[in-house]
Chain A
Amino acid sequence: KAGVTQTPRYLIKTRGQQVTLSCSPISGHRSVSWYQQTPGQGLQFLFEYFSETQRNKGNFPGRFSGRQFSNSRSEMNVSTLELGDSALYLCASSLRGLVADTQYFGPGTRLTVL
């Protein structure tokens, strides 16, 4: 079974621009979560989608948004990029997102904001 895939793997943007990142979950997985990893803050939860609905959201500004499609693929969008948005963005999928369901991570998208 193919793992979680994320595209693109690397991205360079300038302040003020917006960016869209994509995540394809493991086949059959319906829950997709997004995380941001920075050296200073570590791994932080952004949001989680299940059946095209956002079920849980972390403490991030409204510039960070996401969506999930009927095939469970997910995208996250960051608008009006700031230097501090430079990070590794990770996507994880699980069957239903429940506590006993293991989350499997993709390789991440490295975003650099100049």
Chain B
Amino acid sequence: DAKTTQPTSMDCAEGRAANLPCNHSTISGNEYVYWYRQIHSQGPQYIIHGLKNNETNEMASLIITEDRKSSTLILPHATLRDTAVYYCIVRVRDDYKLSFGAGTTVTVRA
């Protein structure tokens, strides 16, 4: 599996955009980038995923660099309820599991 590197923690002001970086320099062409978040003691929540192109849904946007070695998750207008641990996961084709790292603890402050 390609490993990912995320900052341990970051703060964000309520109402502002939160930009969460993820490095995956060893990613291969058939590996997807997935983002999940986990609010304390709840099950992880799917946010978004992508292969090559940038993606957007009702929760967030995913920007993947052209060389695919890094990506950024953007929460456009962070709220206090976005406080969570955010996981960036690189998933290999035919690998049925998700390999979670330590993630980034995001704290949204009023």
Interface residues of A (CB under 8 A from B): 4, 31, 33, 35, 42-45, 48, 50, 55-56, 58, 88, 90, 92, 97-100, 102-108, 110
**Is there contact, CB below 8 Å, between B93 and A108?**
no
**Is there contact, CB below 8 Å, between A103 and B46?**
yes
Majority SS at the chain A contact face: strand
Cβ-neighbour of A107 out of B34, B36, B42, B97 (below 8 A): B42
**Is there contact, CB below 8 Å, between A43 and B44?**
yes
**How long is the Cα–Cα vector from A52 to B49 in the complex, in angstroms?**
27
**How long is the Cα–Cα vector from A88 to B31 in the complex, in angstroms?**
28
A residues within 8 A CB of B98?
33, 35, 43, 45, 92, 103
The reply on B91 being an interface residue by CB < 8 A is yes
**How long is the Cα–Cα vector from A7 to B98 in the complex, in angstroms?**
22
A residues within 8 A CB of B30?
99
